Structure 1
Amino acid sequence: MQALLFFWIQSQPDTSAADTSSIADSLSLAAQQENMSMLELLAEGGVLMIPLFLLSIVAIFVIAERWRSLNNSRIEVDGFLRTVEGMLKDGDRERALTYCDSIDKPLARILKAGIRRLGRSIRDIESAISNAGKKEIFHLEKRMNWLATIAGVAPLVGFTGTVTGMIEAFMDIQSLQGNVNPSVLAGGIWEALITTATGLIVGIIAYGFYNFLLGKINRTVHELENASADFIDMLQSPSSKKKQEAQKVR
């Protein structure tokens, strides 16, 4: 494309030397912008690109860590409850506790707290399960406030960079008493807008993943609540030994 523009310039007999020089300068500037890498482009955003870069690193860490943690917390609820129920109905409480320790999932830790209270009232067991559930929910939501903060702060940092960049641009205009080439002013403006674009991108990604991960947390909490309720119902149902004793009495 540059070759075509050069050929067009040479083919114009009425073009003055000044116009030719201006076009050549514009062509050179366009070539420099095309050859600018993404890293160089981001570096033009100024010092506020540093906190935006740090915020993006923290956001990536939180997203990856929470995603991994939530996926690892998943468990096949029905099969786990059937196994625990069978052990408890056989009167093997210690085996049930050992089985929960081997699973090391939020549901296993919650039910383990209830199994330890076996022999007490249902209210005590429910209280132990509720307290254990609150602890697990706290761990599931860990660092999610970081992601929410980044989603709100990153665009504001970007806007701040744009404002400071515009202030510097108008200060340059004042220092030059208005004798400024429009291309110089435009260059300062698009450099300032880099921070806004970067801040918006970081904020949008953080906000999107915040809602996505929050949905996964809510689904996990719902499963834990249902499984805990099923466990309490199972404890209130008569055991196989009690059924056999009742049949013998009859």
Structure 2
Amino acid sequence: MIEFLKDEALGIWIAGGWLMGPLFVLGLVIYFSVFQLYFQLQARPSTKIDPNLWGHWVDSPADAQGETGRIIRFTQMEPVSVESIRLRFAEVRSAMLSMPTRRLKFLTIIVGTAPLTGLLGTVAGMLTTFGGLSAGSGSDTVGTIAGGISEALITTETGLVLAIPAYVALSRIKRMLEDLELFITKLETATLKRHLHTSADAD
């Protein structure tokens, strides 16, 4: 069974022509980068914390734990003011969201090149097919035409197979980034409310 699959894969690889090599490398780059970014965001515990718990942490920063605790203590360092809280949360957003957002944009561009590379293979295959048609008749001509058609179809299919699951994964990553940004906004709002409430009590 394994030998059969190997033979089939090798046959598809050869029939796909020279563009199968670049598509293979492109696929490795895409999925390594996508999974790396996904697991990096998945490892952040912030968005999974019970709102009642982190709400308590905002009121009592000394009790706060983990990454969320570090954010809370950083944004409530002395001196505390509305402006300082906003500036510190802007730093938190920059530190936590800037790089993943840039990588998401880069990955979207890279994934978009997969079907385009497959389309280039389609053009190359059709050129081979037309070359075979113009050569006349005979068994060699039929083989050339069949090879050109195979190359055109296989590279197109490979490009789409690479791109479609990657786009699904990127949409999930985008949702994770939006959830993280929403969490930071909720944390900022709770911190500002606490500061304003504390200031009003002091007056």
**2:157 paired with 1:186:** no
> Identity over the aligned pairs, expressed in percent?
25
CA separation of 1:224 and 1:43: change in aligned 2, threshold 3 A: farther
Would you tell me which structure has more helix in proportion to its own residues?
2
Counterpart of 2:76 in 1: which secondary structure?
helix
CA separation of 1:201 and 1:120: change in aligned 2, threshold 3 A: same
Which 4+ residue blocks in structure 1 deviate beyond 4 angstroms? Answer: 33-36
Q: How does 1:71-110 map to 2 (within 5 A)?
A: 71-75=42-46, 76=49, 77-87=51-61, 95=62, 103=66, 105=67, 107-110=68-71
Counterpart of 2:198 in 1: which secondary structure?
coil
Q: What is the rounded CA distance, in whole Å, between the counterparts of 2:29 and 2:6 in structure 1? A: 30
* Count of aligned pairs between the two proteins: 194
Q: Which residue of 1 aligns with 2:185?
A: 225
Aligned partner (choices 20, 27, 30) of residue 56 of structure 1: 27
> By how many angstroms is 1:63 displaced?
2.2
Normalising by the residue count of structure 2, what TM-score does the alignment of the two structures yield?
A: 0.81
Q: What is the rounded CA distance, in whole Å, between the counterparts of 1:51 and 1:34 in structure 2? A: 22
Q: Which residue of 2 aligns with 1:196?
A: 156
Kept after mapping to 1: 8 A contact 2:58/2:191: no
Aligned partner (choices 205, 210, 222) of residue 170 of structure 2: 210
> By how many angstroms is 1:146 displaced?
3.1
**2:197 paired with 1:237:** yes
CA RMSD of aligned residues (A): 2.8
Q: How does 1:1-250 map to 2 (within 5 A)?
A: 36-75=7-46, 76=49, 77-87=51-61, 95=62, 103=66, 105=67, 107-116=68-77, 118-174=78-134, 176=135, 178-181=136-139, 183-184=142-143, 185-238=145-198
Q: What is the rounded CA distance, in whole Å, between the counterparts of 2:156 and 2:19 in structure 1? A: 10
Counterpart of 2:60 in 1: which secondary structure?
helix
The superposition leaves residues 149-198 of structure 1 with CA deviations (integer Å, 9 ceiling, x where unpaired) of 13311101001011112212322333x3x114474223331233111100
CA separation of 1:173 and 1:70: change in aligned 2, threshold 3 A: same
Counterpart of 2:16 in 1: which secondary structure?
coil
- Give the structure, 1 or 2, with the largest relative contact order (CA under 8 Å, sep 6 or more): 2
Kept after mapping to 1: 8 A contact 2:20/2:155: yes
Q: Report the AA paired with residue 137 of structure 2.
A: N
